[in-house]
Structure 1
Amino acid sequence: MAGAGDRSRDDARLPCRLYLVTPPAFETKAFAETLKAALGAGDVACVQLRLKDVTDDHILRTADVLLPIVQDAGAAFILNDRPDLAAVLGADGVHVGQDDAPYAEARRLVGPDAIVGVTCHDSRHLAMEAGEAGADYVAFGAFFPTATKDPKARAPFELVRWWSEMMTVPQVAIGGITVENCRPLIEAGADFLAVSAGIWQHADGPAAAVAAFNAIFASP
């Protein structure tokens, strides 16, 4: 499966890839159709289900619908925050923030073969700690203003360039990324762009946004 955990620095010359993050709230049945169209429009490495302030049952029921759609498209299904539920679901992985379960606990819950990614904000130190612990990717951001969540830091493009040149663990750039502003992150060496509103709120629709990102990734 072509997920985030597959990228190593040996693949550094491969194009950047998309990492989709679900909207903050949505109606599951309608969104499932939107997601199918988006995944059919171009390469997507991962889809992260990110739902806040909802019950565990709601997360599980939503994931039961979306997980097979994501996996059937050849992408990895990543659950935000909850390694315990990721293990129950048989998700491909989990993404944890600095205030969520520590990396070691997340790894214990999801097992050795699952993807575990870690939010590192704008911190080289946090990223190096996560990488040394065994994280499959580190996530830096926010790089641009975003209304999807309240970012705890603004990360500089130079951080992406430094990590790309110095480290082997893949990096995900996140925060306010759109088709219009993504090129500096690609040029700096980001392995994946995590995009939410830039996909789901694109003027021409999510499928058009996925296609547009992939066209940029493929361009010289």
Structure 2
Amino acid sequence: MELHAVTNDSFPVNELIKQIKAIESEVDFIHIRERSKTASELVDLVKQLLSEGVPKEKLVINDRVDVALLTNIHRVHLPGHSFSPKELRQKFPHLHAGMSVHSIEEAKAAEENGAEYVMFGHVYDTSCKPGLKARGVKLVEELTSALSIPVVVIGGVTPDRIPELLHVNVKGIAVMSGIFTHHQPRIMAQAFSKKLKENPYEKAL
């Protein structure tokens, strides 16, 4: 199962670079989701990450297709209200695009519109979405059965909750505050990575 780390738009560029460098060997993908930063700041951030040796293949640019094109990053993640991934690839066939969704209906529409995967949440209660009811693992199971494209889940996922997600056919988990609000993000990334690599069936034998 893949581990996606999603930045939380809380740090200046230099500090964010340190955090990403600390975790990049433990995660499969790093989503640059920095809504308050300018295009110039984002381009600078990505260029510095690449110059520091962060693999280009691990970087995903959230929402800002312009930044992805300017920095030659091939993976973008689109919000649910964005344009069609199918239309995007007609113009830029080298781009890979996923989409955020919050219901089975949205997920089916994203698949029809050419999304290569969907990110669904929030699965568990999370401080990022105070007052909003979690959608739950049962709905995740229904979602993975209804789609032919991969599903990545986000929202309140902790290392201890990973075993139950292993049984609902998700492609990966995405973690934002669970990694980036921790005072040692590398330690948390390692905890998630270790849990994802455990074989839940070995203990049953």
Alpha-carbon distance between aligned partners in 2 of 1:152 and 1:116, rounded to the nearest angstrom: 27
Q: TM-score, normalised by structure 2?
A: 0.84
Gaps of 5+ in 1: 1-15
2:187 is aligned with 1:208: yes
Contact 1:18 1:194 in 2 (8 A): yes
Task: Please identify, of 152-161 and 164-173, the stretch whose mean Cα deviation from structure 2 is larger.
Answer: 152-161
Work out which of the two has the higher radius of gyration on C-alpha atoms and give 1 or 2: 2
Q: TM-score, normalised by structure 1?
A: 0.78
Q: Which residue of 2 aligns with 1:23?
A: 8
Cα offset for 1:170? 0.8
Counterpart pick for 2:80 among 98, 113, 133: 98
2:39 is aligned with 1:56: yes
Contact 2:150 2:171 in 1 (8 A): yes
Cα offset for 1:89? 1.8
Alpha-carbon distance between aligned partners in 2 of 1:53 and 1:108, rounded to the nearest angstrom: 29
Contact 1:20 1:46 in 2 (8 A): yes
Contact 1:86 1:93 in 2 (8 A): yes
Cα offset for 1:46? 1.1
Alpha-carbon distance between aligned partners in 2 of 1:51 and 1:218, rounded to the nearest angstrom: 29
Q: Which residue of 1 aligns with 2:96?
A: 115
Q: Which residue of 1 aligns with 2:110?
A: 130
SS in 1 for 2:167: helix
Cα offset for 1:164? 3.1
Contact 1:70 1:77 in 2 (8 A): no
* Cα distance change on mapping 1:101 and 1:134 into 2, 3 Å: closer
Task: Please identify, of 50-59 and 100-109, the stretch whose mean Cα deviation from structure 2 is larger.
Answer: 100-109
SS in 1 for 2:34: coil
Cα offset for 1:201? 2.6
Q: One-letter code of the match for 2:36?
A: D
Q: Which residue of 1 aligns with 2:20?
A: 35
Q: One-letter code of the match for 2:18?
A: E
Alpha-carbon distance between aligned partners in 1 of 2:53 and 2:71, rounded to the nearest angstrom: 13
Cα offset for 1:119? 1.0
Q: How many residues align?
A: 199
Alpha-carbon distance between aligned partners in 1 of 2:39 and 2:107, rounded to the nearest angstrom: 29
* Cα distance change on mapping 1:100 and 1:188 into 2, 3 Å: same
Alpha-carbon distance between aligned partners in 2 of 1:173 and 1:91, rounded to the nearest angstrom: 23
SS in 1 for 2:161: coil
Contact 1:141 1:153 in 2 (8 A): no
Alpha-carbon distance between aligned partners in 2 of 1:75 and 1:97, rounded to the nearest angstrom: 20
SS in 2 for 1:143: coil
Q: Which residue of 1 aligns with 2:70?
A: 88
Q: One-letter code of the match for 1:211?
A: Q
Counterpart pick for 2:170 among 179, 185, 190: 190
Alpha-carbon distance between aligned partners in 2 of 1:51 and 1:76, rounded to the nearest angstrom: 16
Contact 2:8 2:176 in 1 (8 A): yes
Q: One-letter code of the match for 1:59?
A: L
Alpha-carbon distance between aligned partners in 2 of 1:151 and 1:130, rounded to the nearest angstrom: 26
Contact 1:130 1:138 in 2 (8 A): yes
Cα offset for 1:97? 1.1
Spell out, residue by residue over 1:171-190, the C-alpha distance to the aligned partner (whole angstroms, 9 max, x if none). Answer: 11011222233332233222
Cα offset for 1:65? 1.7
Cα offset for 1:214? 1.7
Task: State the percentage of identical aligned residues.
Answer: 27
SS in 1 for 2:82: coil
